Amino acid sequence: MPPRKKTRQVSVGNVKLGGDAPVVIQSMTSGYTWEVDKCIDEVQKLARAGADVVRVAVPEKKDTEALRHVLAASPVPIVADVHFHFQRALEAIEAGVHKIRLNPGNITDRKQVLKVIAACKERGIPIRVGVNEGGIIERKDKELRAREKSALTGSYTAELMRIMHEKLDEYIRIFDEADYHDIVISCKSIDPRIVIDAYTSISQRHDYPLHLGVTHAGPPETGRIRSIAALGTLLANGIGDTVRISYAADPVYEVEDAKELLCCLGLRSRTEPELIACPACGRIQVDLYELVTNVRRKIASEIKLPIKVAVMGCVVNGPGECEGSDVAIFAGNGKGIIYVQGDKKQTVPEDRMLDALLEECHAFADRVERGEAALSNASVEIAPPDPLARPDGSVPLNVVGR
């Protein structure tokens, strides 16, 4: 992968964003900020899941009045989401919020925008400014709106990109004229292809840190594909300083999937167990899917180290595919064979596989914590077990050499 583009760096509380800082994971609460206890619970839940920064909505004064209590209880920096009322931004800044999400296009009075910029400049608070496909077309000026909509009937993507660039340049000039440069840029669409093109182009034009996202991606079942197609492509090409994967669901899923994406791309070190498993195939002779589900649930809740656990349904590809795993099980014909970093430990019946595998995971994790073992960072040679007999009693050839 190409190296990440080095952008300007801003500080969101104690979290660095841009420059050579790691990619920052964000999410947003789904409840009302003025319901303080519920908001605090949600912020803390997102932080436990791995969010580095959490955004909260502040559409009303009672929301900004609640911010002090949320900030006092939050383990991570808080971003105030402001759209139409500049006064909400000023109140959030006064409360001590760590970042403002502002849309200058929704605040038509330039003096009001400049007041927000001045307050943020005085406190050293960054501002995220952006455009998205759903709100990019002019709404108040009917003639301009008609021209923009007419232009989109031609080459939609090209014209949309042109309008996005024009709007962003217009917004950025406001900040430049105020000699304020602690801004973060976003440029979202529901279409992953537009997201990729827009951010790639903006990355070439500006050195401000970029907030990556796909707007209203949908439920996790479909939104994952839509989001990862865009964000994974950009991150793999060195573009992006902070990400929010957006789902119409519990935002904890957003954080979990963002973490997994960054770990898969080598942009974040794992702090929790990693599970690899066989795909579906006709060689599986046990209820592998239930085993994988239970293993995933158990290791996620019980193991606090980034050990790699492999659950394989046969001996054909298993030994090669899980080289590098710390604990592995090869299951088939009603039994499972468990290895720990290449050493065969035990063979257990199917009804003991889950418990035995978890016992070995705990034992290995304990050894790591005591300094008696190290996590696998390289290939671990695993000698495959003897082939399992077919139902008729015959033994297949051992297709994986020792």
Domain coordinates in residue numbering, the chain: 9-264, 274-369
Fold of 274-369: Sulfite Reductase Hemoprotein; domain 1 (3.30.413)
Number of helices followed by number of strands (H, E) in the chain:
12, 15
In the CATH scheme, what is the code of domain 9-264?
A: 3.20.20.20
Given its phi and psi angles, is residue 287 left (phi above 0), alpha (psi -120 to 50 degrees) or beta? beta
What are the phi and psi torsion angles at 13 (to 5°)? Answer: 60, -125
Question: What is the pLDDT, as a whole number, of residue 380?
Answer: 45
The CA angle 161-79-37, to the nearest 5 degrees, is: 135
Question: What is the pLDDT, as a whole number, of residue 320?
Answer: 66
Question: What is the pLDDT, as a whole number, of residue 277?
Answer: 87
Question: What is the pLDDT, as a whole number, of residue 399?
Answer: 37
Question: What is the pLDDT, as a whole number, of residue 355?
Answer: 96
Question: What is the pLDDT, as a whole number, of residue 400?
Answer: 36
pTM: 0.86
Beta strands in 162-226 (DSSP E): 183-188, 211-212
Distance CA 332, CA 192 (A): 41
Dihedral over Cα of 176, 181, 187, 193: its sign: positive
Dihedral over Cα of 166, 167, 170, 171: its sign: negative
In the chain, which residues have pLDDT < 70?
104-107, 134-139, 315-322, 378-402
Among residues 353, 356, 317, 319, the alpha carbon closest in space to that of 333 is found at: 353
Tokens of 228: 């990862």
Max intra-chain CA distance, the chain: 84
User: What residues have CB less than 8 Å from 275, skipping those under 6 apart?
Assistant: 292, 295, 296, 299, 309, 310, 311
